[in-house]
Amino acid sequence: MNSCAVIIKNLYLSCDLYSMNRMKDHNDHEGYSSDLLGSALKGFGVGKVVESGHGELKKGDLVWGLTRWEEYSLITNPESLIKILHTDLPLSYYTGILGISGMTAWAGFYQVCSPKKREYVYISSAFGAVGQVVGQFAKLFGCYVVGSAGSDEKVELLKNKFGFDDAFNYKEEQDLNAALKRYFPQGIDIYFESVGGKMLDAVLLNMRLRGRIAVCGMISQYNLDHPEGVHNLANILYKRIRMEGFVVFDYMSEYSEFIEMAVPSIREGKIDYVEDKVEGLENAAAALVEISSGTNVGKVVIVVARDRVCFLYSSSSIIFASLCV
Amino acid sequence: MNSCAVIIKNLYLSCDLYSMNRMKDHNDHEGYSSDLLGSALKGFGVGKVVESGHGELKKGDLVWGLTRWEEYSLITNPESLIKILHTDLPLSYYTGILGISGMTAWAGFYQVCSPKKREYVYISSAFGAVGQVVGQFAKLFGCYVVGSAGSDEKVELLKNKFGFDDAFNYKEEQDLNAALKRYFPQGIDIYFESVGGKMLDAVLLNMRLRGRIAVCGMISQYNLDHPEGVHNLANILYKRIRMEGFVVFDYMSEYSEFIEMAVPSIREGKIDYVEDKVEGLENAAAALVEISSGTNVGKVVIVVARDRVCFLYSSSSIIFASLCV
């Protein structure tokens, strides 16, 4: 074993479209490297250190970071793992709202979008793991927030659970441009982009002067051999729009700043979060396929093993079963 | 007369594609307002104050700013005029390299592109009034600079007169992607965008990680009823590109900073500049049409009247003729 490597027992794995995107070839752009055919899929997860050759991690530490879709992982670059300091919140949250998706929302909204209070924020894919959090951050910050999602159920939750000012089901809109004009009669200052294609085209027509577009994804384009054309780009010029692609890895040095903001907000119930737990690594592939169909509600987490002591009730006694480690 | 208005005698008018674009309807976005049908075309020019109701401008002052394509203009917002302080350089330069196009190049390159020494810079429309200057600024700054233009003559001038590291005739390239790969085997850090459409698509494929695209124009799209689609936008995400539209008006408060840099560089011959002078306002419309065809070499300036005392040689004597004011 490499002297500074660690072995972790994987507890929870994040299941999202990013995982799907990793299986495509992107010429190995930093942060978007593809996985090698035949190796376990890489992904973010929460684990417990079971062996450590790294000075700052010891056996029993809970960590999150890039791991693999397998029961135990050898992490040869353990400096990429982040030790979990706040364990009063569910550990699975570190696959999402306290991990990459929350940090992505934070970096994208606060760092890339340069928001101002009372600005008009539109989030496509608003019910996604990142979108939900962006919307709640934007509300806490004092913006007017509208999101779109792909089902009426999600739209209802965005409005009634996550506190968006408004939301709509984009699948029921014949004319996205008209829909955006209806929801943003004053136009859009900030667009948190996860979709691309026709949605981006409609948004460009509705952006305000000096608007900002944070490009976090272009989901509608990932599986197309010939990506759709975007026709309204001249608005970037006319409206002096800044459009910026970002990946969260460029912002990881600011993780503690994010945690200081996010942990109290979650504890105080100011930020809501929904998980869809999938039990067992053997069900992970099916979960990944399902996520592409957009039918999931909430962040999909693969439960590989549980860390906490779990109380199993039987008719006669309480059996303590430590399900992992 | 409005108590703070001024009347200027127009001397030189800038003739560029921006003028053409002003005749289109852009829903009156700030800085891109269209001209009213039947009124004289607005445009940048150099003039001499002949009447002033404005405290900081007096009769005889030379100014540049937004004026109209006519002999005399009533300027009701004279605070938009900039007094010309350096008159040892040709006054016509204030329609271009010391006016809007030079300032556009400066703001776009230094402020929008955030350049670093030794970065790879590509300029489409490199022989245009702005492109020429961007290229020379980028060379002075220490970048590697390649430009494209629409004729072999312009390509030669870019390389041999304006000091570009390389240049190519885009009309002779069947495959813009392949051409860019040839000129930028390491990829492009900074793209100064004036073209849009297919060129932008090819550039997106060749951008480097954390590249910047300053959108100064999208000339190929202005006269299309249905703008071309741009298909490779997902690269903005994959490569964390920042793409930003800008107009020079947002940077005018920094004009003196630009002048402090540009005037000495021009005086010392570090920056070269070519003008195509068109004599007489009556030839302005034809010049505007010609400019759209891309056949001009250098900045097209309409000479409405000359300020300087002009020596006309006759067979017997020297006649002093003050051609204007």
Position A77 scores a pLDDT of: 94
Largest Cα–Cα separation, chain B: 73
Q: Distance from first CA to last CA of chain B, Å, rounded? A: 20
Instruction: Looking at the structure, tell me whether residues B167 and B64 fall in a common domain.
Output: no
Instruction: Looking at the structure, tell me whether residues A136 and A73 fall in a common domain.
Output: no
Instruction: Looking at the structure, tell me whether residues B93 and B105 fall in a common domain.
Output: no
Q: Under an 8 A CB cutoff, do A229 and B230 touch?
A: yes
Instruction: Looking at the structure, tell me whether residues B242 and B108 fall in a common domain.
Output: yes
Instruction: Looking at the structure, tell me whether residues B229 and B170 fall in a common domain.
Output: yes
> Is residue A255 in a domain?
no
> Is residue A285 in a domain?
yes
Query: Chain B partners of A32 at a C-beta cutoff of 8 Å?
Result: 238
> Is residue B159 in a domain?
yes
Position B318 scores a pLDDT of: 36
Largest Cα–Cα separation, chain A: 73
Tally the domains of chain B.
2
Position B225 scores a pLDDT of: 79
Query: Chain B partners of A245 at a C-beta cutoff of 8 Å?
Result: 235-242
CATH number at residue A42: 3.90.180.10
Instruction: Looking at the structure, tell me whether residues B86 and B157 fall in a common domain.
Output: no
Instruction: Looking at the structure, tell me whether residues A107 and A228 fall in a common domain.
Output: yes
Please name the residue of chain B whose CA is at the shortest distance from the CA of residue A243.
B243
Q: Under an 8 A CB cutoff, do A209 and B30 touch?
A: yes
Query: Chain A partners of B200 at a C-beta cutoff of 8 Å?
Result: 233
Check if B58 contacts A (Cβ < 8 Å): no
* Residue range A194-251, pLDDT digits in tens: 989 999 999 999 999 999 999 998 877 777 778 888 999 999 999 999 999 999 999 9
* pLDDT tens, N- to C-terminus, chain A (325 residues): 556 899 999 999 998 876 666 666 555 454 455 566 778 888 999 999 999 999 999 999 999 999 999 999 999 999 999 999 999 999 999 999 999 999 999 999 999 999 999 999 999 999 988 999 999 999 999 999 999 999 999 999 999 999 999 999 999 999 999 999 999 999 999 999 998 999 999 999 999 999 999 999 887 777 777 888 899 999 999 999 999 999 999 999 999 999 999 999 999 999 999 888 999 999 998 998 888 776 777 789 999 998 654 333 333 333 333 333 3
> Is residue B79 in a domain?
yes
Check if A199 contacts B (Cβ < 8 Å): no
> Is residue A306 in a domain?
yes
CA angle B16, B19, B25 (to 5 degrees): 145
Residue B223: give the domain boundaries. 100-249
Instruction: Looking at the structure, tell me whether residues B232 and B280 fall in a common domain.
Output: no
Position B291 scores a pLDDT of: 83
Helix axis angle for A176-183 and A197-206, nearest 10°, is 40
Check if B291 contacts A (Cβ < 8 Å): no
Would residue B269 be called left, alpha or beta, if left means φ above 0 and alpha means ψ between -120 and 50 degrees?
left
Q: Under an 8 A CB cutoff, do B236 and A245 touch?
A: yes
Q: Number of A:B CB contacts under 8 A? A: 105
Position B186 scores a pLDDT of: 98
Query: Chain A partners of B250 at a C-beta cutoff of 8 Å?
Result: 240
Tell me: ipTM over 0.85: no
Three-state DSSP class for residue B169: strand
Report A:210-229 residues touching B (Cβ under 8 A). 215-218, 221-222, 226-229
Q: Under an 8 A CB cutoff, do B241 and A242 touch?
A: no
User: Which of A233, A235, A246 to mutate to test binding with chain B, by most B CBs within 10 Å of its CB?
Assistant: A233
Q: Under an 8 A CB cutoff, do A239 and B245 touch?
A: yes
Close Cβ partners of B325 (under 8 Å, ≥ 6 residues apart): B9, B48, B50, B60, B307
Query: Chain A partners of B196 at a C-beta cutoff of 8 Å?
Result: 233-234
Instruction: Looking at the structure, tell me whether residues B11 and B76 fall in a common domain.
Output: yes
> Is residue A269 in a domain?
no
**A221/B236 Cα distance (integer angstroms):** 13
**B120/B131 Cα distance (integer angstroms):** 15
Position B221 scores a pLDDT of: 76
Instruction: Looking at the structure, tell me whether residues A86 and A117 fall in a common domain.
Output: no
> Is residue B211 in a domain?
yes
Position B35 scores a pLDDT of: 61
CATH number at residue B130: 3.40.50.720
Three-state DSSP class for residue B188: strand
Instruction: Looking at the structure, tell me whether residues A91 and A107 fall in a common domain.
Output: no
Q: Nearest-CA neighbor of A15 among A242, A215, A279?
A: A279
Please list the rounded mean pLDDT of every run of 10 residues in chain B (325 residues).
84 83 57 65 94 94 95 94 94 95 96 97 92 96 97 95 97 97 98 94 97 90 80 95 95 96 95 92 90 78 76 37 34
> Is residue A57 in a domain?
yes
Please name the residue of chain A whose CA is at the shortest distance from the CA of residue B232.
A227
Instruction: Looking at the structure, tell me whether residues A17 and A157 fall in a common domain.
Output: no
